[in-house]
Structure 1
Amino acid sequence: MDSRILVVAQRDRLPHIESCGGLVGRRTGAHTVHLVSSAATPLGGDRITVRVVVEPGALLRLRSVAAAIALPGPATPVSHAEMVLEAGGDLDVDLEPTVVAGSAEHHATLAACVGDTGCLRVRERVQIGRSAERHGLWSSTVRADAAGRPLLRHRVELGAGTVGDDVLAAPRAAISELSYPVGPRHLIDGGTVLELAGGGALTTWQGDVLPAPPPKSG
């Protein structure tokens, strides 16, 4: 299944949403859109494309209502997800984790372009395997530019069959957060902060199990 969603945020207007396939968007606030799965996705063979455009002076928070579970399909275990971000205003993307089930293989790509007046935060969380599973594979490729210049080129793989895999001690969970033009808005306990030459920072963490989210206040 091919799922596509477009979200456009303009100043002083509610976000505009277009979608098809197994993913839809719902406005849950004046500046907030939640992604909702309308079908089981991603399965092997599926492709998900999310494009977000935030025009200058606009604000958008992109969230999801539940974790995404990548499962093997009947013909192939491989699924793909692509996110394209154009941040002319303030864009904050913080989706629920992606869980890669045993024998599934999920490849994610992120292409981000931040304008001269833009602000961006993107957090990604992934867990290899459900309970007692350790044989999924996940890869992530990030290409980010800011103010017309390269900001970050980053690639990481996790899980069975990757170069750094080790049945005894290899991590099975990861968190990464790209923030620009300022540093990280939320520090990850035990994480590593890499200050970027063009501004902002990349914060990363790896472990065996994703930490529980902090309790919500109020």
Structure 2
Amino acid sequence: MTTPGALRSTVLVVASRSRSPRIEAVGGLAVRRTGVDRVHLVGSAATPLGGDTIDVRIVVEAGARLHVCSVAASVALPGRSTDVSHASWTVEVEDGAEVIVDPEPTIVAGSADHRSSLSLHLGDRVRAAVRERIQIGRSGEVDGRWSGVFRVDGVAGPVLRHRLDLGRGAAGHDALFAPTASISTLTWPECLAESPSGDTVTGLETTMPMAGGGTLSTWLGHRLPVTRSVAALSARGDQPARLASAVSAAPSFADGSSP
């Protein structure tokens, strides 16, 4: 059922070896080309509010490269008639392609209940790095709720089915830990996730090599630390492309501000 007054935002980005990325965007998100193979998502309206939905589809055609990021943190807010908002990302990486998806954090503010899903479909001989950063609450807020599902499929079948819940009412939110921030980084085929700095005393980090290939690194804590961006570095000549960590020109904090 559609919530009255809710905003539906859709984004399509298709990267090709032979031309600049093709972009379609409707609703509260716009997309800007910021490099030969890089695009930034830009908020053109206050979204997601309760009742809003965001659908992002990214297609990287065979042999192409694409780096997707955003200009600022996304803030999920409760709506007038519901606290629940949804975001869905689908990333399709065809044979021999390379993709990095590294948007700024999502901040779940007030009593908002934000639910996200990310589906990654990998072809043969691909390189991929996908990172999702979540923070429950702005300064002094603790009532938000977030749940996220991460699915990865390769040419041989399912690779990963992963779910996290944060905030009050989540299964892992108890007197022992009660994390309110998370970083999930999937890399394919090798591991390149850095260890976050900052909330290292109360943070919990796990790196899991997956049986089907690739690595999932998950960090849980109370406040998002400042982290470096995941950037693409392409080797020249006949050497294969590789993905590595690089220092961001302007790192951002959990509240979306800059240093």
> Could you tell me which residue of structure 1 aligns to residue 23 of structure 2?
17
> Which runs of 4 or more aligned residues in structure 1 lie more than 6 Å from their structure 2 counterparts after TM superposition?
none
Q: Does 1:208 align with 2:208?
A: no
**Alpha carbon RMSD of aligned pairs, Å?**
1.5
What is the aligned counterpart of 1:107 among 90, 115, 127? 115
1:187 is matched by which residue type in structure 2? Answer: E
> Could you tell me which residue of structure 2 aligns to residue 159 of structure 1?
167
Q: Percent identity?
A: 51
TM-score, normalised via structure 1 length: 0.95
Structure 1 CA distance for aligned equivalents of residues 59 and 195 of structure 2: 27
> Could you tell me which residue of structure 2 aligns to residue 39 of structure 1?
45
1:69 is matched by which residue type in structure 2? Answer: V
> Could you tell me which residue of structure 1 aligns to residue 209 of structure 2?
195
Q: CA deviation at 1:160?
A: 1.2
Contact 1:158–1:172 (Cα < 8 Å) also in 2: yes
TM-score, normalised via structure 2 length: 0.81
Residue pairs, 1:81-120, within 5 angstroms:
81-88=87-94, 89-120=97-128
Contact 1:22–1:38 (Cα < 8 Å) also in 2: yes
Contact 2:187–2:193 (Cα < 8 Å) also in 1: no
> Could you tell me which residue of structure 1 aligns to residue 193 of structure 2?
186
Q: CA deviation at 1:150?
A: 0.8
Gaps of 5+ in 1: none
Gaps of 5+ in 2: 1-6, 197-203, 229-246, 251-259
1:99 is matched by which residue type in structure 2? Answer: I
Larger Rg over CA atoms: 2
SS in 2 for 1:177: strand
Contact 1:192–1:204 (Cα < 8 Å) also in 2: yes
SS in 2 for 1:191: strand
Q: CA deviation at 1:104?
A: 0.3
> Could you tell me which residue of structure 2 aligns to residue 150 of structure 1?
158
SS in 2 for 1:41: coil
User: How many residue pairs align between the two structures?
Assistant: 217
Structure 1 CA distance for aligned equivalents of residues 168 and 144 of structure 2: 6
> Could you tell me which residue of structure 1 aligns to residue 129 of structure 2?
121
